[in-house]
A and B are shown apart, each in its own frame.
Chain A
Amino acid sequence: MFIAAHHQREVIREKSARLFQPAPRANDELNRVREQLADMDLSQAQLARELDARLDYLRTLQSEEFYIAVDTARRKLSLRIGKDVAREANIEIGEAKTITGSGRTWTFVPLKGGFTVVSKSSDYDWTVPEWLYAMNQQPIPAQRPSIKNGLGRYIVVLPDNYVIHSTPPDTSPLHGQPKPGSIMVPEADLAAIWPRITNTTRVYIF
């Protein structure tokens, strides 16, 4: 048993030496991506998706365009240009939730990957969504009220209606909390980067 394990260890050592030998002019960022992905226990399809998002992100590092990076582990959102950080803000991430009510189910899972901004709004009217009543175990009214800036004064819409939003006002049923699965940024920080967000801005959430 020990001899077999020892033999297997030797095979792993050889394979490691081959796979991790220092390549000439090795790209540090690419190596980091490789290491990160290797540590994730993902299926091949998931690996492919994660790899594509990260390669896209690496390409952005070479560009001179502004983009948004969200580090969910450090809970930071930053406006970047190339490798430089123009602005960094603390964020709150709405927890993953599955809400059921009125015979319907809403699932909110924090988003990860590379996306392009779909739209942005400020000073808007927000109709309280049905899931919010279901979440608060309240009956859904026939006429749902409209609240000024219900998700905060600034919202950046990502695909599948995920949003990066500023702090909701006290008049909102979210009471200053992030929307489930979404990202909440202090209003002053989102206001500061607001002019740089367009519908071509890339957002990387990792």
Chain B
Amino acid sequence: MRRWIGFLGSWAIFVLALGLAAIAAAGEWINLRDSRRLDRVEIIDKMIAERSGTKAEKLRGVAKSRAADLNQMQQKVNNVSRETDDVPDTGQSIIVSTSENRLYVRRNGQPVFDAVCSTGKGTTLAVDGKTLVFDTPIGKLHIKSKEVDPVWVPPDWHFVEEARKSGMRVVHLNRGGAVDADTGDPVSGRSEGIWSWFGGSKRTLRVQGNTVVEEAGGSTRELPPGKLIVAGNTIVVPPVDTAQRRYAGVLGKYRLELGDGYGIHGTDQPQQLGRSVSHGCVRLGDADIERLYQIANVGDEVIIY
């Protein structure tokens, strides 16, 4: 009996010693692993410091030789930072894929809306010595404002493009000037008093207040707003602040402004959706632009790729 107790006791002591040794070994291994990890952190910190140092050295060199440029650049960076800070983080992004003509909305990383759209057609047009490219701007933009029943005031290129389509020419109708309504030729001087008798039935286009009128034989007729003015083989470009330069309905019911004349809006040509046909804006169908208008916030990021 005593021998058994001695035997079992020896085993118990042996197992206990083995257990303690295992615990000690495990502890040592953990210490070793953590110690090596900390050594690596020290090396990494040293490398980061070295790289920061190298970068700072380069910057100092640049600062010495081009101090003025650096100040200017810094000013620009500050301005951009200020602009960026002004944009509230809404947690919502509007993503536009130009190659697929699709628009997506993601809120906190989760998709909440997607729709077929139309983006820039990528064609070029030479106007007054400049070449315009009808591309949707690529990169990161923000919604600057939201608008209901937007009115389109077409830029000059619209008239040039329309004229080129049908082999016509373009003439600008300026305030105080007149254009022959039959030929599109500028009319010099004004037929008034006795001279108007010699004008006979000649029709001329003029600006009266904020509207373009047609005068003929002493009578005056206001031209319909938002319609192309054609005089013979000429497209007449009315002044920007006239009713004839304001096109209602072309942009659909809603518009989200992105800046620089670009926006996301509806369309009066829903059959073109899904194709790259716009002049740079993003077009959506009626129901989709209405939904987007409801969920979009001023300040939302718009990423166009």
Are B35 and A8 in contact, with the CB atoms below 8 A?
Answer: yes
- Report A65-82 CB contacts with B as 1/0, cut-off 8 Å: 010000000000001011
Query: Is B241's beta carbon under 8 Å from chain A?
Result: no
Question: Residue-by-residue, is B112-140 near A (CB-CB < 8 Å gives 1, otherwise 0)?
Answer: 00000000000000000000000000111
Whether A84 lies near B140 (C-beta < 8 A) is: yes
How many Å from the CB of A10 to the closest CB on chain B? 10
CB distance from B263 to the nearest CB of A (A): 20
Interface positions of A from 38 to 67, Cβ below 8 Å from B? 38-42, 44, 47-48, 51-52, 55, 64, 66
Is there a chain B Cβ closer than 8 Å to A97's Cβ?
Answer: no
In contact, A194 and B42 (Cβ under 8 angstroms): no
A26 at the interface (CB under 8 A from B): no
Chain B CB within 8 A of A15 CB: yes
Q: Are A9 and B31 in contact (CB under 8 A)?
A: yes
B19 to chain A, nearest CB (A): 13
CB of A38 within 8 A of CB of B40, answer yes
With both chains docked as a complex, state the minimum distance between the C-beta of A11 and any C-beta of chain B, in angstroms.
8
Q: Is the CB of A12 within 8 A of B35?
A: yes
Are A86 and B303 interface neighbours, CB within 8 A? yes
Out of B24, B44, B138, name the residue touching A38 (CB < 8 Å).
Answer: B44
Q: Say yes or no: A19 contacts B38, CB within 8 Å.
A: yes
Number of A residues whose C-beta is below 8 Å from B?
39
Chain B interface residue count, Cβ-Cβ cutoff 8 angstroms: 31
Does B48 interact with chain A (Cβ within 8 Å)?
Answer: yes
Known: A9-B31, A64-B140, A194-B99. Contact between A34 and B305, CB under 8 A?
Answer: no
* In the bound complex, CA of A48 to CA of B48 (Å): 9
B244 at interface (Cβ–Cβ under 8 A)?
no
Segment touching A, from B90-98, B177-185, B222-230: B90-98
Cα distance A194–B97 in the bound complex, in angstroms: 11
Interface membership of A117, Cβ < 8 A: no
Instruction: Flag whether B158 is at the interface (Cβ < 8 A).
Output: no
Q: Which of A38, A44, A84, A195 has the most CB of B within 10 A?
A: A38
Whether B37 is near chain A, meaning CB under 8 Å from some CB there, is yes
- In contact, B99 and A192 (Cβ under 8 angstroms): yes
Question: What CA separation (Å) do A112 and B140 show in the bound complex?
Answer: 28
**When chains A and B are docked, how far (Å) is the Cα of A144 from the Cα of B138?**
42
The CA of A39 and the CA of B37, in the complex, are separated in Å by: 7
Known: A19-B41, A47-B43, A64-B140. A79 touches B305 (CB 8 A): yes
Q: Does A175 contact B (CB under 8 A)?
A: no
Interface residues of B in 16-38 (CB under 8 A from A): 24, 27-28, 31, 34-38
Chain A residues lying within 8 Å of B40, measured Cβ to Cβ, are 37-38, 40, 42, 47
Can you list 20 A-B pairs, Cβ within 8 angstroms, ordered by A? Answer: A5-B24, A8-B35, A12-B34, A15-B38, A34-B45, A38-B41, A40-B40, A44-B43, A47-B40, A48-B47, A66-B138, A81-B303, A84-B93, A84-B303, A85-B109, A191-B100, A192-B305, A193-B99, A195-B98, A195-B99
| Interchain residue pairs A-B with the least CB separation, the first 7 | A86-B305, A5-B27, A8-B31, A38-B41, A86-B303, A1-B24, A12-B34
